[in-house]
Structure 1
């Protein structure tokens, strides 16, 4: 019996049934690692604003699908001039030699998902100082921090001292690792709510503007934006702008009856995990948008105007409350990627979707 299974059986059954992976996001020297609730981990060198970035990702479990890629340029920089990477990379000032048989090579992109090729590459670079672009000395991948980041990835996925570990490899069989945690399901409403009438919209906006309790809001009532959407056939969702900054608007959310006399109740969003390094589970609604037809609430918090770092979340209304469907965070503001590619700390599937959708999203 695998060791991870023996340890699980030693736990109380109730506790074992509630186990879920706690997300991780951490910076070690010049590298950042993020592992989500499925123990899928992605790491890259930072900052990426010099244009050259190596990304290493790996799924949990014995299958251990992995990917290593090196990219020069992105959607912010556009296509950059210069020769192909395969011929122009230096490792500590000497030509980096790659057996490209199992690598995919484009002009400014190199990638491999071949296990032996990845092992050979990591053995070359693990204890080196940097990878540099021959024709642009400013485009450098610092390797300081890569080794401890990969060691942490092994630890999160339970690979220490196993044959599948990238650091501190041992004799334990590659299959003797914990499986990928179960994907959480988020339920949807049985049917979309009926649309709000013109009178309902008018009455609810007036209620949200002047009569609901927003005493803690810094914005003057005349400057507040109020949006209203059908939540159920009996209740509506009010989003009221409460505070405004350079890039973000913080909203308050209320569940309000659709008929007078209006009765409102505040809605708070609580994460199913503790934010790394913050110890909090409550989430502010920042730049919130609600899609009533699908019961999806989105938030998007930008750390700066470019929108290359911050937090993006997706919540699903199940007819009773909002459940977290996805949480993505990029803590490094280095113009490397937009919110579409931020690393995820939490992912899920809708109850009516096949499980393979999560696998596809995690490979981005």
Structure 2
């Protein structure tokens, strides 16, 4: 069990000198907290399909860039009818009239990055039960899990018992917090490889269709798809569909020499961490796409056909293997946001591309 998961059970909290960087995603009643390897954390209410959602995010360290948002309507629901949020919010059945001087105010979107404004809002809501719209009873934000989610966020970022904590505030100065962890640096992209010739493409697809060992694949050989792309001037990436469901296709990946006699090596995706709720760090290539110009491999595992939940990853080819660049996951299937906005559990820094001659 990681440090911050234990710490909720152990009081009083003990300040640590460095921020823990192990990714997490955890639910508290109707709130979900996600923190990545840079200790950037985002907490949001759910379900989002009732239309109304509150989100709080914060970076580790002194330069924390906090953000609080309340949104009515999403990309899935589109614009929803009704009056403005600023005039139609109820907190435990009483009209809420927040001071919006330091807020960005739109009819159905309220947001602030002002630390004092966020503190004032949390002072009103941390111990409340519900936030809802006057004109739409089902548009409700349950608040019961928010306090626990923000307490864990404070703990992950080393803020507990300090002046910058959102929940368990203490005497330590706001500047007395650990710095954000260093995130790993990706290998520099390789020079863009020469495109495959028609002869190379035909030969490699024929090789992938008939000669690569796919005995463990459940997909009928006649339904398997084979795609090929250049990895380097001498190696190619071969993707062969192996299993298929309603909206996910699992591929096998091989690094293959571009010229005969073909030599193939199976490729696997190994995560540098074990995702919450899993016992291993091996990734399947689900709905995989490869961009030969950048050496980036993308996967997108849908939790359901709508594509509002699941796992999305990005990997950088280093000349031998694929290295994780980004891992995003949304466990809650509530039609709130698409994969472009899922919370991240792993991020990295990029290097400048190597220039080709």
TM-score above 0.5: yes
Deviates more, 1:102-111 or 1:177-186: 177-186
Q: Which residue matches 2:102?
A: 102
For the Cα contact (< 8 Å) 2:15–2:160, is it kept in 1?
no
For the Cα contact (< 8 Å) 2:30–2:145, is it kept in 1?
yes
The gaps in structure 2 that reach 5 residues or longer are 1-13
The DSSP-based 3-state class of the residue aligned with 2:67 is: strand
Shift of 1:89: 0.1
TM-align CA RMSD: 1.5
Shift of 1:20: 6.9
Q: Which runs of 4+ in 1 moved over 6 A?
A: none
Inter-partner Cα distance in structure 2 for 1:173 and 1:56 = 22
Inter-partner Cα distance in structure 2 for 1:223 and 1:102 = 57
1:128-159: CA deviation from partner (whole Å, max 9, x where unpaired): 00001001011000001100000000011011
TM-score of the pair, normalised by structure 2: 0.93
Shift of 1:81: 1.0
Shift of 1:70: 0.2
1:85-114: CA deviation from partner (whole Å, max 9, x where unpaired): 000000000001201111111000111111
For the Cα contact (< 8 Å) 2:189–2:316, is it kept in 1?
no
Aligned residues: 340
For the Cα contact (< 8 Å) 2:15–2:161, is it kept in 1?
no
The gaps in structure 1 that reach 5 residues or longer are 9-18, 354-364
Shift of 1:4: 7.1
Inter-partner Cα distance in structure 2 for 1:29 and 1:349 = 34
Q: Which residue matches 1:241?
A: 241
The DSSP-based 3-state class of the residue aligned with 1:300 is: strand
Q: Which residue matches 2:151?
A: 151
1:11-38: CA deviation from partner (whole Å, max 9, x where unpaired): xxxxxxxx97111101110000100111
Which residues in structure 2 correspond to 1:157-176 (within 5 Å)?
157-176=157-176
Shift of 1:199: 1.1
Q: Which residue matches 2:295?
A: 295
For the Cα contact (< 8 Å) 1:72–1:80, is it kept in 2?
yes
Which residues in structure 2 correspond to 1:1-364 (within 5 Å)?
7=17, 21-352=21-352
Shift of 1:189: 3.2
Inter-partner Cα distance in structure 1 for 2:101 and 2:305 = 42
Q: Which residue matches 2:4?
A: none
1:189-228: CA deviation from partner (whole Å, max 9, x where unpaired): 3411111111111111111111111111001222110000
Inter-partner Cα distance in structure 1 for 2:263 and 2:249 = 25
1:234-268: CA deviation from partner (whole Å, max 9, x where unpaired): 11100000000000000000001111111111000
